[in-house]
């Protein structure tokens, strides 16, 4: 069978304060158009449908229209899971009715073990989950990490494999060896959330969500679809789109189909004078989301307002030649931001005490961070 | 046809900090039992399914189980509307799929004009709405109050009346002449929300939600079902339950069926010594929600903790013989709370200036309060 693989819609996400609902609705229409042109048998959405566990009323309106159009009007079967940004319970409402029109929206771990069979393919729809859910489901106190959980999960799925069918896993995790960009929330607490690629070998295709770049993982049988829009500067040069997957037993192929953002995310570099010259600004798409790198050294009064009169969607202005100290601070801050929580604690401890954490202390910290992380998720 | 009329479930409501989800699930089971025993053809829920526009995850879990059991498992057709406590958009998710199994959940005004026909009856499911919605729907700038809106709404509905069928309106409003209790949020801004009973004459039955007492309105063709549980002290002596309605054209009848709360709401009066005597407390159901009126005058150290050791669900303690001044203050506060916002402004103005508001000033206040109220609702 042939299906479209997308993920990480993050409906309701804002880009530096700018509402993206119009762009998101437009990207959705492009996805639908590709689905029709490619005559796919189903649309797979691998988690993070919403950007927040409690989405705004406006985001819900847009999302509701999308699912009605996709499933009830255009009659596409939909195979979807909740991601780490979604509230599984809030998303669950309506699920038992959705199935009547082949809209499968899995939000609980136990649902992952009843594959959806369509044509020649078994789909295992595994929503994002925390190790505690696997601990309870398998009644196994040993399960502490996602890797441990996934071993059990996949063994359980393999029991259901029909040998004459293709097997597709739809999942929302960080697979070891993938490349991150800046717009994904850190799932990771000291690496507890990583799934090794080797665990996924038995599937013909793994339709992943979570990372926002389509090239985040280069595996023979697995892809991230990436988000339909650019959600951060680090995604500036990424091509966005969806995968069209053809499942043939032991010979599955996939091809990327690009979508064009309603408004792009671009970076401009130049002096204030250059950037505000008519000849220059008429040469570029001023409606884009813009990150501006200014080469000036002097103070420019009322700079932001002047820039915004020409460029309505400035998401940030950077001074390339600011004071050196400032630069350094910024670099240090960035570095701290990029550290995993356990490393942060380690670093703080050694700075303050001049000593290293013992193995036992590190375990305590990991356990407590994991507990905190779970409590946070439970909200 | 025969249907069950309930309303004001307020799933997720707390009683003085106590979670009522267990009581609400129990009341729901009793409602379902009555529906089965009475062999009803449908269950009508006249608004305020949830207590808050953004319900907690726990409340959503309980609600999801209820609707699955009622509609998908027990196969009851369900005719429901959103109330002033519900977020219409949040509740709307899933609606287009619910219809496939005869679960009609109307959340928008325009849906009210497509009656659901079952057996001999046309059901008009009118969700709670603000005058602004009617203004837009009817493209009529004159509509400023619910009464004005309801005139148009009902004229529009009457156009759809089939003469050989019975006509039922399901609605969530304050009908003039009804009696309030303390647990309903004030909809009213200077009486803008009141619907005169005379407007509802053409219906064989009006299934109302909003007021929590089943006797709040005594009309030939209209009833509030009341809430399934007691939500405030003022409802202490109310019988809770549902109406079983038999629609026969021009000869509709209805009968009240009681439900028994899992834990009652009662009031005790006595001295601290009496109330903590074993003989006394073994004579009553200590698991009830209790409002206690103490007759003591002396200070009782650690009183609340001592009472809660015997009575786990004390919702309040009142000193019957406190200082007179205190009493007076309390009475005054209660009085202020009971005033409508426009009256409050009037009173404040005349206290401060010694004069009365002019007609023009009163209109300004009404308009501004209505605008504020709408802005509030839009959140």
Nearest by CB to B68, from A63, A87, A96: name it.
Answer: A96
Q: Tokens 């009493």 appear where? A: B327
Quote the pLDDT of residue A190.
Answer: 40
The verdict on A74 touching B (C-beta cutoff 8 Å) is no
Angstroms from A99 CA to nearest CA on chain B: 9
Return d(Cα B94, Cα A92) in angstroms, integer.
10
- What is the distance between the alpha carbons of residues A145 and B36, in angstroms, rounded to a whole number? 47
**pLDDT per position as a tens digit, B352-377:** 677 788 888 888 888 888 777 766 66
Q: Do B96 and A72 touch (CB under 8 A)?
A: yes
Residues in A closer than 8 angstroms to B60, CB to CB, are 89-90, 92-93
pLDDT tens string A162-213: 999 999 999 999 887 666 666 665 544 445 578 888 899 999 999 999 999 9
Please tell me which residue of chain B has the smallest CA distance to A105.
B94
Per-residue pLDDT at A79 exceeds 80 = yes
Residue B346: predicted pLDDT? 80
Cβ–Cβ gap B98/A93 under 8 Å: no
Predicted local confidence at residue B189, as pLDDT: 40
Segment A281-303 shows an average pLDDT of 91
Residues linked to residue B172 through DSSP beta bridges, in sequence order: B209
The answer to which of A4-8, A285-289, B26-30, B342-346 has the lowest mean pLDDT is: B342-346
Among the partner residues A57, A97, A379, nearest to B100 by beta-carbon distance: A97
Nearest CA to CA, how far is A196 from chain B (Å)?
A: 32
Radius of gyration of chain A (CA): 23
Q: Distances in Å between the alpha carbon of A216 and those of A154, A181, A219, A224?
A: 22, 9, 10, 7
Binary contact (A60, B90; C-beta < 8 A) = yes
Confidence at residue B181, expressed as pLDDT on a 0 to 100 scale: 67
Of the pLDDT bands very low, low, confident and very high (cuts 50, 70, 90), residue A140 is very high
List the single residue in A87, A97, A103 with the smallest CB-CB distance to B57: A87
Question: Could B64 and A92 be called an inter-chain contact, meaning their C-beta atoms sit closer than 8 Å?
Answer: yes
The pLDDT, as a whole number, for residue B190 is 41
Chain B environment of A72 (Cβ under 8 Å): 96-97
CATH superfamily, with its number, for domain B2-258:
Metallo-dependent phosphatases (3.60.21.10)
- The Cα of A72 is separated from the nearest Cα of chain B by a number of Å equal to 8
Domain boundaries, chain A: 2-258, 265-322, 325-377
pLDDT at B78 over 60: yes
Tokens in use for B346?
């009037």
Compute chain B's Rg from CA coordinates: 23
Instruction: Tell whether A90 is within 8 A of chain B (Cβ).
Output: yes
* Nearest-by-Cβ selection for B64 from A57, A93, A100: A93
* Average pLDDT value over all residues in chain A: 89
Confirm or reject contact between A73 and chain B (CB < 8 A): no
| CA-to-CA separations, A79 to A73, A99, A329, B59, in angstroms, rounded | 16, 10, 46, 26
Strand partners, A224: A208
Question: Bigger pLDDT: B356 or B153?
Answer: B153
B89 in A contact zone (CB under 8 Å): yes
Q: Please give the DSSP secondary-structure letter assigned to residue B62.
A: H
Report phi then psi at B301, rounded to 5: -65, 140
pLDDT at B280 over 50: yes
Is the Cβ pair B93, A98 closer than 8 Å? no
- Residue B322 pLDDT greater than 70, yes or no: no
Q: Are the C-beta atoms of B54 and B85 separated by less than 8 Å?
A: no
Q: Does the CB of B96 have a partner CB in chain A at under 8 Å?
A: yes
DSSP, collapsed to helix, strand or coil, labels residue A214 as: coil
Mean pLDDT of chain B: 89
A215 token code pair: 């090239």
Asked if the model's pLDDT at residue B325 lies above 50, the reply is: no
Rounded-to-integer distance, Cα B280 and Cα B274, Å: 7
Mean pLDDT of B167-194: 72
Distance CA B287, CA B264 (A): 8
Residue B297 exposure: Cα atoms within 13 Å on the Cβ side: 3
Chain A residues closer than 8 Å to B66 by CB: none
**Residue B225 reports pLDDT greater than 90:** yes
Burial-class residue B164 by CB neighbours within 10 Å (0-12, 13-18, 19+).
Answer: exposed
Distances (CA, A) of A14 to A7, A52, A225, A239: 17, 11, 20, 20
pLDDT tens track for A262-281: 999 999 999 999 999 999 99
Report the half-sphere exposure of B12 (CA within 13 A, side-chain side): 19
Above pLDDT 90, what percent of chain B? 71
A257 closest CA partner among A13, A36, A22: A36
CB contact under 8 Å between B97 and A61, yes or no, is no
Q: Which residues of B touch A89 (CB under 8 A)?
A: 57, 60-61, 64
Which residue in A97, A100, A375, A376 has the most chain B C-beta atoms within 10 A of its own C-beta, making it the best mutation to test that interface? Answer: A97
- Is residue B52 less than 8 Å (CB to CB) from chain A? no
* Structure token pair of residue B61: 């879990």
CB pairs under 8 A between A and B: 53
* Distance between B130 CA and the closest CA of chain A, angstroms: 17
Does A93 lie at the interface with B, CB-CB under 8 angstroms?
Answer: yes
When pLDDT is averaged across residues B161-175 and rounded to a whole number, the result is 95
* CA atoms lying within 13 Å on the CB side of residue B326: 6
Whether the pLDDT of residue A325 is over 50: the answer is no
DSSP secondary structure string for all residues of A2-39: EEEEE----BT-EETTEE-HHHHHHHHHHHHHHHHHTT
Residue B239 CB coordination number (10 Å): 14
pLDDT tens, position by position, A212-271: 999 888 888 999 999 999 999 889 999 999 999 999 877 899 999 999 999 999 999 999
d(CA A378, CA A369): 14
Write the ipTM: 0.79
Residue B180 is predicted with a pLDDT of 66
Chain A: closest CA distance from residue B191 (Å): 28
> Among B57, B64, B89, whose Cβ lies nearest the Cβ of A61?
B89
Residue B262 contacts residue B289 (beta carbons within 8 Å): no
| Interface contact A97-B97, CB threshold 8 A | yes
């Amino acid at each position: 069978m042939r299906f479209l693989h997308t993920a990480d819609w993050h409906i309701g996400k804002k880009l530096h304060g700018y509402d993206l609902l119009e762009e998101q609705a437009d990207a959705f229409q492009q996805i639908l158009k590709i689905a029709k042109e490619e005559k796919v048998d189903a649309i797979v959405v691998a988690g993070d449908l919403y950007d927040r566990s409690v989405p705004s009323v406006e985001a819900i309106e847009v999302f509701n229209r999308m699912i009605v159009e996709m499933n009830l009007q255009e009659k596409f079967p939909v195979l979807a899971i909740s991601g780490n940004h979604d509230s599984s319970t809030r998303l669950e409402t309506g699920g038992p009715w959705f199935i009547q029109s082949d809209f499968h929206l899995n939000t609980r771990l136990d649902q992952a073990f009843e594959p959806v069979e369509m044509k020649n393919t078994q789909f295992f729809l595994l929503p994002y989950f925390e190790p505690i859910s696997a601990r309870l489901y398998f009644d196994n106190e040993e399960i502490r990490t996602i890797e441990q959980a996934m071993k059990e999960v996949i063994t359980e799925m393999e029991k259901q494999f029909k040998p004459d069918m293709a097997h597709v896993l739809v999942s929302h995790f960080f697979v070891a060896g993938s490349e991150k960009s800046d717009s994904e929330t850190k799932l990771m607490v000291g690496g507890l959330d990583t799934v090794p690629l080797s665990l996924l070998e038995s599937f013909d295709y793994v339709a992943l969500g979570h990372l926002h770049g389509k090239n985040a993982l280069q595996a023979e049988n697995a892809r991230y679809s990436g988000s339909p829009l650019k959600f951060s500067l680090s995604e500036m040069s990424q091509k966005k789109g969806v995968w069209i997957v053809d499942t043939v037993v032991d010979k599955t192929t996939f091809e990327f189909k690009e979508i064009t953002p309603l408004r792009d995310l671009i970076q401009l570099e130049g002096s204030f004078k250059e950037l505000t010259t008519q000849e220059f600004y008429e040469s570029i798409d001023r409606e884009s989301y813009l990150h501006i790198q200014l080469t000036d050294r002097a103070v420019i009064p009322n700079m932001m307002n002047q820039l915004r009169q020409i460029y309505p969607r400035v998401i940030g202005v950077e001074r390339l030649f600011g004071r050196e100290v400032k630069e350094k601070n910024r670099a240090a801050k960035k570095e701290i931001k990029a550290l995993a929580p356990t490393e942060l604690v380690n670093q703080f401890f050694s700075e303050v005490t001049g000593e290293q954490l013992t193995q036992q202390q590190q375990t305590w910290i990991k356990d407590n961070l994991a507990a905190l992380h779970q409590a946070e998720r439970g909200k």
